[in-house]
């Protein structure tokens, strides 16, 4: 029998299936390895679909699995219309989509549009062609400054550290906002648009349910490429601060999103979500106009400390940003680019308690949720030895930034020793800590007190209980360091205590709590749902 919340969702607007959907981000390299090479792959994901169904998520987001030299682990794409052999082949992809659909899971995939790999055929052609040629015009080539052109064309820095320009043999420079192996495309070039359209249709015709658009605030560049304010340079951080940064969020980017939307509109029920690291609310909302992206990743929860007032503000601003638009708020606490929340909020048990509390806060909110693989197991960030680090940020920053590898360690599935059922290989692409035996799926599945059980229960309640309906929140008065809100439609109450004393519970019947309650009091670092 269909559950109440499902009826609301499916019967009225199937093309907007995503409106209160829980997406699960699969970092493909680290999810499950089927062929024993120490790297996760598409058949590995397929073999674990039963787990994802049991967990209770609705849709997947797969990180890039396209042909790539893997300098940025797939975000450097050499052929966007083929599968890299390390992940499988197109047949494996089709089988994964079919099986996921049979498990009731939608499949969305990552699209990297801001740049290609330097191993892309276009870039090889560009290097062989002279300055001013059509081959070079697909990228951003410029002459340098200074008498002999030996200074870069402007002062832009790469998000991974160092200059955003690299000089080629004939003296010109090309732009790369990320690694030098990720040259930026020129979005003023019509061939670049046409090729993206081809890529979109290629995957849509294979049955994908949508796309996550990488660096959706990138792509367009301002004419004249003016210098950036030096204070905008922040190595290793993807957040673009609230200062005018000519590298990102240029008005021309909206033409690209309009083009993408036009194609998607030919395929009803498909969705595009943009990775939009734009902190200005009004500018963020522009990406969600009716003829642009369906959804925008909002990173406010990720970037907010464990502080009741700051979290409340983040939630209110996120809701306000999308109010009145034909979209939904999105919420995420983690992804492959940021520290895992357990370690972000604190070390050890307290970090876990806080992450559990935030899981309930997030799952109580209206709109779309993005979970990152492993957060449902309460995985911490891993301190890897220098020799194991693979993120280009580590080299590019001159070993001053350790990068994002600590959040990308493979998932522990079962058993007592690394690699915990992730792979048959001892040597996984990033080493797994030996002390993860208690964190495996196997160890947590039947334990009612585990993080996994909390997520399963929370996801199930969110899907089945009518109290979770309604797009607006009402805030209650709460003791200092605490907050409580109520979903205006269904009436679910969520309360969080970040003070250092237990506080009285709001009235109502307890549905779920992130940790043990003290009679009728909510202890510190704990959240509760009441109806
Ligand atoms: C996005 C991805 C990140 C990648 C970057 C360059 O921010 O999430 O992992 O390094 O784009 O493609």
Give the three-state DSSP class for 401. Answer: coil
- Over residues 9-14, the mean pLDDT reads 51
* 26 within some domain: yes
Ligand 1, pocket-test mutation among 66, 75, 235, 277, most atoms within 8 A of CB: 75
Same domain, residue pair 207 and 145: no
**Residue 3 pLDDT exceeds 50:** no
* 216 within some domain: yes
Same domain, residue pair 403 and 525: no
* Nearest protein CA to atom 12 of ligand 1, as residue: 75
Same domain, residue pair 511 and 442: no
What does the H/E/C string look like for 52-89?
Answer: HHHHCCCEEEECCCEECCCCCCCCCCCEEEEECCCCCC
* 435 within some domain: yes
Q: Confirm or reject: Cβ of 178 under 6 Å from ligand 1.
A: yes
* 169 within some domain: yes
Asked which of 459, 478, 504 is the last residue of a domain, the reply is 459
List pLDDT tens digits, range 372-431: 999 999 999 999 999 999 999 999 889 999 999 999 999 999 999 999 999 999 999 999
The model's confidence at residue 238, banded by pLDDT at 50, 70 and 90, is low
What does the H/E/C string look like for 411-449?
Answer: CCCCCCCCCCCCCCCCCCCCCCCCCCHHHCHHHHHCCCC
Question: Would you state the pLDDT for residue 241?
Answer: 56
Question: Would you state the pLDDT for residue 237?
Answer: 55
Question: Would you state the pLDDT for residue 149?
Answer: 97
What's the domain count of the chain? 3
Same domain, residue pair 347 and 418: yes
Same domain, residue pair 272 and 203: yes
- Over residues 486-503, the mean pLDDT reads 97
Same domain, residue pair 431 and 316: yes
Same domain, residue pair 510 and 361: no
Structure tokens at 27: 């970092």
Question: Would you state the pLDDT for residue 239?
Answer: 59
Same domain, residue pair 83 and 161: no
Question: 40-54, 240-254, 475-489: which range is least confident on average?
Answer: 240-254
**Residue 7 pLDDT exceeds 90:** no
Same domain, residue pair 286 and 327: yes
* 181 within some domain: no
Asked which of 435, 459, 483 is the last residue of a domain, the reply is 459
Asked which of 459, 482, 504 is the last residue of a domain, the reply is 459
Domain that holds residue 474: 470-530
* 146 within some domain: yes
Same domain, residue pair 292 and 436: yes
The H-or-E segment that residue 167 falls in is strand 165-167
Nearest-angstrom CA–CA distance, 278 and 284: 6
Looking up residue 511, the CATH number of its domain turns out to be 2.60.40.1180
Give the three-state DSSP class for 41. Answer: coil
Quote the mean pLDDT of the chain. Answer: 95
**Residue 474 pLDDT exceeds 50:** yes
Nearest-angstrom CA–CA distance, 48 and 103: 11
Nearest-angstrom CA–CA distance, 114 and 149: 26
**Residue 509 pLDDT exceeds 50:** yes
Structure tokens at 210: 């949508």
176 Cα to the center of ligand 1, angstroms? 13
Structure tokens at 363: 């799952």
Question: Would you state the pLDDT for residue 13?
Answer: 55
* 510 within some domain: yes
Looking up residue 88, the CATH number of its domain turns out to be 3.20.20.80
Looking up residue 156, the CATH number of its domain turns out to be 3.90.400.10
Residues labelled as active-site residues = 214, 266
Same domain, residue pair 211 and 160: no
* 493 within some domain: yes
Ligand 1, pocket-test mutation among 238, 276, 297, most atoms within 8 A of CB: 238
Same domain, residue pair 206 and 86: yes
Indicate which atom in ligand 1 lies nearest the CA of residue 404: 9
- Whole-model pTM: value is 0.96
**Residue 236 pLDDT exceeds 60:** no
**Residue 9 pLDDT exceeds 50:** no
HSE-CB of 252 using CA atoms within 13 angstroms: 15
């Amino acid at each position: 029998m269909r559950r109440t919340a499902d009826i609301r969702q499916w019967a009225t607007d199937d093309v907007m299936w995503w409106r209160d959907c829980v997406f699960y981000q699969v970092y493909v390299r680290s999810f499950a390895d089927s062929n024993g090479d120490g790297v996760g792959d598409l058949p590995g994901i397929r073999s674990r679909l039963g787990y994802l169904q049991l967990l209770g998520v609705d849709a997947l987001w797969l990180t890039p699995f396209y042909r790539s030299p893997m300098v940025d682990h797939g975000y450097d794409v050499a052929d966007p219309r083929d599968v890299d052999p390390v992940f499988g082949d197109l047949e494996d992809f089709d089988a994964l989509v079919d099986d996921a659909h049979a498990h009731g899971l939608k499949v969305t995939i990552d699209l990297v549009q801001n740049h290609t790999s330097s191993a892309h055929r276009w870039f090889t052609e560009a290097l062989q062609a002279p300055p001013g040629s059509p081959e070079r015009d697909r990228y951003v080539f410029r002459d340098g400054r200074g008498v002999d052109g030996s200074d870069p064309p402007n002062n832009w820095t790469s998000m991974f550290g160092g200059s955003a320009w690299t000089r080629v043999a004939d003296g010109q420079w090309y732009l790369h906002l990320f690694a030098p192996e990720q040259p930026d495309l020129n979005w003023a070039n019509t061939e670049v648009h046409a090729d993206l359209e081809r890529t979109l249709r290629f995957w849509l015709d294979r049955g994908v349910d949508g796309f996550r658009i990488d660096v959706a605030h990138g792509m367009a560049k301002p004419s004249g490429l003016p210098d950036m304010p030096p204070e905008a340079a922040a190595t290793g951080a993807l957040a673009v601060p609230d200062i005018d940064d000519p590298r990102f969020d240029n008005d021309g980017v909206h033409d690209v999103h309009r083009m993408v939307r036009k194609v998607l509109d030919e395929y009803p029920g498909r969705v595009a979500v943009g990775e939009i690291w734009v902190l200005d609310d009004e500018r963020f909302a522009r990406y969600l106009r009716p003829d642009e992206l369906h959804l925008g990743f909002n990173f406010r929860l990720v970037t907010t400390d464990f502080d009741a007032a700051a979290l409340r503000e983040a939630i209110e601003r996120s809701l306000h940003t999308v109010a009145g638009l034909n979209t939904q708020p999105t919420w995420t606490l983690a992804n492959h680019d940021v520290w895992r929340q357990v370690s972000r909020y604190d070390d050890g048990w307290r970090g876990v308690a806080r992450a559990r509390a935030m899981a309930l806060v997030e799952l109580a909110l209206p709109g779309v949720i993005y979970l990152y693989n492993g957060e449902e197991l309460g995985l911490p960030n891993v301190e890897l030895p220098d020799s194991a680090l693979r993120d280009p940020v580590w080299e590019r920053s001159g070993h001053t930034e350790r990068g994002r590898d600590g959040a990308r360690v493979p998932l522990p599935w079962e058993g007592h020793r690394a690699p915990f059922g992730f792979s048959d290989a001892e040597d996984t692409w990033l080493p797994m800590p030996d002390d993860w035996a208690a964190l495996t799926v196997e160890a947590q599945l039947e334990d009612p007190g585990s993080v996994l059980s909390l997520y399963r229960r929370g996801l199930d309640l969110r899907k089945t209980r009518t109290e979770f309906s309604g797009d607006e929140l009402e805030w209650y008065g709460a003791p200092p360091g605490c907050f409580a809100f109520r979903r205006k439609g269904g009436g679910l109450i969520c309360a969080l205590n970040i003070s250092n004393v237990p506080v009285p519970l709001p009235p109502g019947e307890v549905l779920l709590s992130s940790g043990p309650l003290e009679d009728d009091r909510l202890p510190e670092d704990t959240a509760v749902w009441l109806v």
